[in-house]
Amino acid sequence: MRSRLIQDTSTLEPTWREWLAALAPPTRALDAWLGRDDRLLIIAPHPDDEVLACGGLLFDHHARGGRSLIVAVTDGEASHAPSAQWDAVALAHRRNVERLAGLRALGLDAPDVVRLGLPDGRAADPRTRLTERLLALMAPTDVVVATWRLDGHPDHDAAGSAAAQASAVHGCRLIEAPVWMWHWAEPDDPRIPWHRLHALELGVPAVAHKRAALSAHVTQLTARDAGRGPVLDGAIIARALRGAEYFFV
Ligand SMILES: [Zn+2]
pLDDT digits (tens, 9 = 90+) for 108-162: 999 999 999 999 999 999 999 999 999 999 999 999 999 999 999 999 999 999 9
CATH of 13-248, one of 3.40.50.10320, 3.30.365.10, 3.30.70.580, 2.60.40.10: 3.40.50.10320
- 3-state class of 228 per DSSP? coil
- Spatial separation of the C-alpha atoms in residues 30 and 36, rounded to whole Å: 9
- For ligand 1, a single-atom ion, the residues with CB < 5 A are 45-46, 49
Distance 159 CA to ligand 1 centre (A): 10
Distance 126 CA to ligand 1 centre (A): 19
At 244 the pLDDT is: 98
- Spatial separation of the C-alpha atoms in residues 143 and 163, rounded to whole Å: 11
User: What's the pLDDT band for 10 if we cut at 50, 70, 90?
Assistant: confident
Distance 44 CA to ligand 1 centre (A): 7
Extents of the domains making up the chain: 13-248
Distance 249 CA to ligand 1 centre (A): 20
Q: Which pTM was predicted?
A: 0.96
- CA separation (Å) from 218 to 96, 126, 183, 224, 230? 12, 32, 21, 11, 9
- 3-state class of 175 per DSSP? strand
